[in-house]
């Protein structure tokens, strides 16, 4: 049909106009696509994202503004460490032990109905010059009170381990989003080109509940995901077979590089190909560097003793070696190190801090594994001058109830208020921010979210959490979603 339908008795479009408008419209679509590809389209997030080269994705990049920290060490206590038994002193909870939680009649939390208020199972004592009240659960870490910056009003969006772990590591409760470490390596690259920008160190007993989600790149380019290994299980298949001489190995690598360069020249602009080549070249360099960083034989006997790593077989010694590995990675300029304490396992009291039924017995096993090695790690970083440039964050996915569960001797999940702490570059020391109510149930003062925590970590690295974006499925995605504010009260 040559003409369009009429309106008010007039024809609106003939064949010639249809072809003319169609042609110019397609030209506009093509121009829009070209501008989008080059990052010149108005409102396109790529124009404000990090500038990185696919053939050198790990090269160090400038932050948005001067950074206080160069590296991050994030210690993740899997299973939800009880704040009311460790960091959050509540005299009223002690005074009203055995009484019902006010306003909590028939309160049902994650696993069921709650019983009465239950006092901390470990005594709280004043620590350091600050006099901070911390329990005897983790005495070595408690002794560092004057170096720590506590946030007592943290909240999470979920009371279920998997989604809450996801949120603490990725900002979202759902799967499929990039981890904080991936965002940081995407934004800043790394100072050491022979090691990954982001390393995850799983607990000797296994991985947390959501496993690799903690170090996933999500929808970011895959080269920014974390590399997972620990002191007991270094990266496999790195060693060169004894039958291959070093000169032959070097010559083979040089020839492979020549072939890769020729292949890349034949496919200019293929970012997937150049990124793949860069990843393989990093893997080759890691055959030397990763083997060196996981070899703790050069550590002194005094250092091994300081961390509690002298017994080769105990869980404490195995975790202690992971702590030494974390320090060695930070020392070598790895941008983001995520160290896990606790692993997911089906069944009560196995592997982590999920103290539902027998909290006293369970924590009495787990606390010594964490305490000395983690405290030694902070002390060692400080003694070597590494805390001046390193931000340490000690986190868990949520807190626990001030009550015991009915019919049990443990505490249920509590996302309404819990404690995390920071130390190192750019944060106050011997300082406490925010508060839960008189029983430790809900955050009531200077309430903070995980979005705020992530915004603060990025800020200390010189990154504006609102500007650090990646355009995905039509949305400017960011670590903090559409939320978050920097917790400036904790900054120096």
Helix axes 271-293, 315-331, angle to 10 degrees: 120
CA-to-CA separations, 236 to 213, 232, 233, 280, 283, in angstroms, rounded: 21, 11, 8, 15, 11
Residue in 112, 137, 83 with CA at minimum distance from that of residue 440:
83
Task: Name the 3-class secondary structure at 414.
Answer: strand
Q: How confident is the model at residue 230 (pLDDT cuts 50, 70, 90)?
A: very high
Residues forming beta bridges with residue 6, ordered by sequence position: 11
pLDDT for 29 equals: 54
pLDDT for 52 equals: 85
Q: What is the enclosing helix (H) or strand (E) of 440? A: none
Task: Name the 3-class secondary structure at 116.
Answer: strand
User: Please, are residues 214 and 342 in contact by the beta-carbon 8 Å criterion?
Assistant: no
Q: Which single residue is written with the structure tokens 């015991």?
A: 404
What is the distance between the alpha carbons of residues 49 and 445, in angstroms, rounded to a whole number? 35
What is the distance between the alpha carbons of residues 38 and 420, in angstroms, rounded to a whole number? 42
Q: How confident is the model at residue 45 (pLDDT cuts 50, 70, 90)?
A: very low
Q: How confident is the model at residue 3 (pLDDT cuts 50, 70, 90)?
A: very low
pLDDT in tens, 315-347: 999 999 999 999 999 999 999 999 999 998 654
How many other CB atoms are found less than 10 A from the CB of residue 407? 9
How high does pLDDT run on average in the chain?
88
pLDDT in tens, 378-396: 999 999 999 999 999 999 9
pTM of the shown model = 0.85
Query: DSSP per residue over 269-326, as a string?
Result: T-HHHHHHHHHHHHHHHHHHHHHHHT-GGGS-HHHHHHHT--SSSSHHHHHHHHHHHH
User: Is the alpha carbon torsion for 307, 311, 312, 313 positive or negative?
Assistant: negative
Query: DSSP per residue over 337-406, as a string?
Result: EEEEE----SSTTSSSS--SSBHHHHHHHHHHHHHHHHHHHHHHHHHTTGGGTEEEEEEES-EE-SEEET
- Between 303 and 222, the more confident residue is 303
- Between 237 and 306, the more confident residue is 306
User: Average of pLDDT values for 261-279?
Assistant: 73
pLDDT in tens, 293-307: 999 999 999 999 999
% of the chain at pLDDT higher than 70: 85
Q: What's 2's DSSP letter?
A: -
Residue in 121, 51, 117 with CA at minimum distance from that of residue 81:
121
pLDDT for 112 equals: 86
Q: Which residues of 381-399 are buried (b: 16+ CB within 10 A; e: fewer)?
A: bbeeebbebbbbbbbbbbb
User: Please, are residues 296 and 326 in contact by the beta-carbon 8 Å criterion?
Assistant: no
């Amino acid at each position: 049909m040559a003409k369009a339908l009429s309106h008010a008795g007039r024809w609106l479009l003939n064949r010639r106009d249809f072809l003319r408008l169609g042609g110019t419209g397609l030209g506009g679509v093509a121009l829009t696509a070209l501008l989008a590809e080059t990052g010149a389209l108005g409102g396109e997030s790529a124009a404000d994202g990090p500038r990185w080269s696919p053939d050198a994705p790990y090269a160090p990049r400038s932050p948005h503004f001067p950074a206080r920290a160069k590296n991050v060490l994030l210690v993740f206590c899997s299973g939800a460490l009880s704040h009311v038994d460790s960091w959050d002193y509540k005299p009223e909870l002690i005074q009203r032990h055995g009484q019902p939680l006010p306003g909590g009649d028939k309160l049902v939390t994650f696993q069921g109905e709650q019983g009465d208020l239950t006092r901390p199972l470990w005594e709280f004592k004043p620590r350091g010059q600050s006099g901070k009240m911390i329990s005897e659960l983790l005495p070595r870490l408690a002794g560092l009170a004057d170096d720590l910056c506590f946030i007592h009003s943290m909240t999470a969006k979920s009371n279920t381990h998997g989604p809450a772990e996801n949120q603490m590591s990725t900002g979202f409760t759902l799967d499929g989003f990039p981890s904080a470490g991936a965002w940081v390596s995407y934004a800043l690259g790394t100072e050491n080109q022979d090691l990954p920008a982001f390393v995850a160190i799983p607990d000797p007993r296994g991985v947390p509940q959501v496993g690799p989600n903690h170090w996933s790149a999500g929808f970011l380019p895959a080269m920014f995901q974390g590399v997972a290994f620990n002191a007991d299980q270094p990266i496999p298949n790195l060693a060169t077979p004894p039958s291959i001489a070093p000169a032959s190995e070097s010559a083979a690598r040089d020839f492979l590089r020549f072939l890769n360069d020729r292949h890349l020249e034949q496919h200019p602009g293929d970012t997937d190909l150049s990124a793949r080549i860069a990843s393989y070249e990093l893997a080759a360099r890691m055959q030397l560097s990763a083997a060196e960083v996981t070899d703790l034989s050069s550590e002194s006997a005094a250092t091994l003793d300081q961390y509690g790593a002298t017994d080769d077989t105990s869980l404490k010694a195995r975790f202690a070696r992971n702590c030494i590995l974390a320090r060695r990675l930070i020392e070598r300029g790895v941008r983001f190190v995520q160290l896990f304490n606790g692993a997911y396992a089906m069944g009560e009291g196995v592997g982590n801090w999920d103290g539902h039924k027998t909290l006293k017995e369970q924590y009495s096993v787990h606390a010594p594994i964490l305490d000395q090695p983690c405290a030694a790690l902070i002390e060692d970083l400080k003694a070597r001058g590494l805390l001046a440039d390193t931000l340490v964050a000690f986190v868990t996915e949520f807190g626990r109830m001030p009550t015991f569960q009915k019919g049990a001797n443990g505490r249920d999940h509590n996302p309404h208020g819990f404690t995390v702490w920071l130390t190192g570059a750019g944060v106050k020391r011997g300082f406490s921010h925010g508060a839960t109510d008189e029983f430790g149930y809900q955050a009531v003062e200077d309430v903070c979210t995980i979005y705020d925590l992530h915004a603060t970590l990025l800020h200390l690295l010189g990154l504006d959490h609102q500007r650090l974006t990646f355009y995905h499925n039509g949305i400017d995605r960011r670590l903090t979603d559409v939320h978050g504010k920097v917790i400036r009260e904790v900054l120096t």
